[in-house]
Structure 1
Amino acid sequence: MMPMNPKQLKKLMKQLDMRQLDNVVEVIIRLEDREIIIKNPTVTVIKAMGEKIYQIAGGEEEEKVKLVISEEDIKLVMEQTGVDYETAKKALEEANGDLAEAILKLTEGSP
C-alpha cells in the first residue's frame, strides 16, 4: 500500500464524510456489570448510509466493576429489617451488596 500525503488523506476523509473529534478526554462504555474507560482516545466519526459510526482507538483502558443492587435485594432487606427503600438501598451499598451484612448492620441495637 502506498503511503498517502496529508492532503490526499484529508480529501479521502472528506469523501467518506469522516472527521476526527478534538479534545476528547475519555470514552466510557457502560455495561450491565462494569464500565470500560478509555483515557485520551482518538475518536473518528464516519457517516455511512445514514448512520454515524464512532471509531475509538488508543489510550489506557480501565475496567471498573459497578455495584449492581437488585430490586429483590432491596425488598428483602426492607422486609427483614422494616426500613424504608432508601435506607435499605444505602445499607446494601455500604455493604457492597452483601445481604447478610446489610441486614445485620440495620438490626444492630434493635430490641
Structure 2
Amino acid sequence: MQTKTTQQHLGASARITQEVTSWPGVTAGHGSRGEWAFKVGRREIGHLHGDHAAHFGFPKDVFDTYFAQGRITFHPVFPDRRGPGARRIEDDADVADVIAILRDQYERAVSRS
C-alpha cells in the first residue's frame, strides 16, 4: 500500500487508474481517440483525458441525478444531450469523486453480467 505522500506525487490519472484497476475484472488501456478507458469486459465504464477530465456514459436517470448534484456537466462533444457526462479534475476531491462515479458505473456493469 502506498503512503499518502507517495500518492500525492502521482498524477490524477495514475491515482484513478491504480484504484479502478484494483477492482475485479477492470482493465484499462488507450482507446481509439487517445483516451485512457476503463472497461469491465467489453463495456466501458468511463475514460480519462490526461489528468484533467473524465467522461462517462450514463443512463438518462443517472445522468440527471449526477447533473442535479453538480457532479458532472454535459460532455463537450454532446452539449445538451442527457447521457454522456463530463467531470473536470482539478484537485483531490475531484479525483475521489471520479473514482466514486466509476465505482457506481462498475457496480451497474457487473450487476448486468
Q: More strand by proportion, 1 or 2?
A: 1
TM-score relative to the length of structure 2: 0.23
Q: Compute the TM-score of the two structures, normalised by the length of structure 1.
A: 0.23
Tell me which of the two structures has the higher relative contact order, counting C-alpha pairs closer than 8 angstroms and 6 or more residues apart: 2
Higher Cα Rg, which structure: 1
